[in-house]
Amino acid sequence: MVKICCIGAGYVGGPTMAVIALKCPAIEVVVVDISEPRIAGWNSERLPIYEPGLDDVVRQCRGRNLFFSTEVHRHVGDADIVFVSVNTPTKTCGLGAGKAADLTYWESAARMIADVSRSDKIVVEKSTVPVKTAEAIEKILVHNSRGVRYQILSNPEFLAEGTAVQDLFAPDRVLIGGRETPEGRAAVARLRDVYAQWVPGDRIITTNLWSAELSKLAANAFLAQRISSVNAISALCEATGADVTEVAHSVGRDARIGPRFLSASVGFGGSCFQKDILNLVYICECYGLPEVAAYWREVIRINDHQKSRFVNRVVSSMFNTVAGKKIAVLGFAFKKDTGDTRETPAIDVCNGLLGDKAVISIYDPQVTGEQVSRDLAMNKFDWDHPRHLQPLSATDLAKQVAVAPDAYEAARDAHAVCILTEWDEFRTLDYKRMFDAMHKPAFIFDGRNVVDPAKLREIGFVVYAIGKPLDDWLKDMPAVA
Partner 1 sequence: MVKICCIGAGYVGGPTMAVIALKCPDIEVVVVDISKPRIEAWNSDTLPIYEPGLDDVVKQCRGRNLFFSTDVEKHVAEADIIFVSVNTPTKTRGLGAGKAADLTYWESAARMIADVSKSDKIVVEKSTVPVKTAEAIEKILTHNSKGINYQILSNPEFLAEGTAIEDLFKPDRVLIGGRETPEGRKAVQVLKDVYAHWVPEDRILTTNLWSAELSKLAANAFLAQRISSVNAISALCEATGANVSEVAYAVGKDTRIGPKFLNASVGFGGSCFQKDILNLVYICECNGLPEVANYWKQVIRINDYQKSRFVNRVVASMFNTVAGKKIAVLGFAFKKDTGDTRETPAIDVCKGLLGDKAQISIYDPQVTEDQIQRDLAMNKFDWDHPMHLQPTSPTAIKQVSCVWDAYEATKGAHGVCILTEWDEFKTLDYQKIFDNMQKPAFVFDGRNIVDPEKLREIGFIVYSIGKPLDAWLKDMPAVA
State the catalytic residues.
272
Q: How many CA atoms lie within 13 A of 266 on its CB side?
A: 36
Give the number of other CB atoms < 10 A from CB of residue 251.
Answer: 16
* 205 binds partner 1, rule: CB under 8 A: yes
Three-state helix/strand/coil letters over 359-421: EEEEECCCCCHHHHHHHHHCCCCHHHCCHHHCCCCCCHHHHCEEECCCHHHHHCCCCEEEECC
Smallest gap from Cβ 189 to partner 1, in A, equals 17
Contact region with partner 1 (CB under 8 A), list: 10-18, 88-96, 294-302, 438-446 = 294-302
Phi and psi dihedrals of 251, rounded to 5? -60, -45
Nearest-angstrom CA–CA distance, 89 and 231: 27
Q: Name the pairing type of β-strands 462-465 and 81-84.
A: unpaired
Contact region with partner 1 (CB under 8 A), list: 7-15, 69-77, 211-219, 406-414 = 211-219
Cβ-based nearer residue to partner 1, 296 or 383: 296
Establish whether 274 is an annotated binding residue: yes
Task: Name which position in 69, 70, 163, 211 contacts partner 1 (CB under 8 A).
Answer: 211
Nearest-angstrom CA–CA distance, 401 and 192: 49
* 173 binds partner 1, rule: CB under 8 A: yes
Contact region with partner 1 (CB under 8 A), list: 19-27, 107-115, 300-308, 389-397 = 300-308
Smallest gap from Cβ 478 to partner 1, in A, equals 9
**Sheet with strand 359-363: strands edge to edge:** 401-403, 359-363, 326-330, 416-419, 443-446, 462-465
Q: Helical H runs in 24-123?
A: 36-42, 54-61, 72-78, 104-116
Establish whether 30 is an annotated binding residue: no
Q: 94 in helix, strand or coil?
A: coil
* 301 binds partner 1, rule: CB under 8 A: yes
Cβ-based nearer residue to partner 1, 75 or 448: 448
* 241 binds partner 1, rule: CB under 8 A: yes
Establish whether 273 is an annotated binding residue: yes
Q: Which residues inside 94-123 make contact with partner 1, applying CB under 8 A?
A: none
Residues 6+ apart with CB under 8 A from 54: 14, 15, 18, 47, 164, 165
The residues that touch partner 1, with contacts defined as CB under 8 A, are: 131-132, 158, 172-173, 175, 203, 205, 207-208, 210-215, 218-219, 221-223, 225-226, 228-229, 232-233, 235-237, 239-243, 246-247, 249-251, 253-258, 260-261, 280, 283-284, 287-289, 291-292, 294-296, 298, 301-302, 305, 469
Feature table: binding site = 8-13, 33, 38, 86-90, 127-128, 161, 272-275, 342
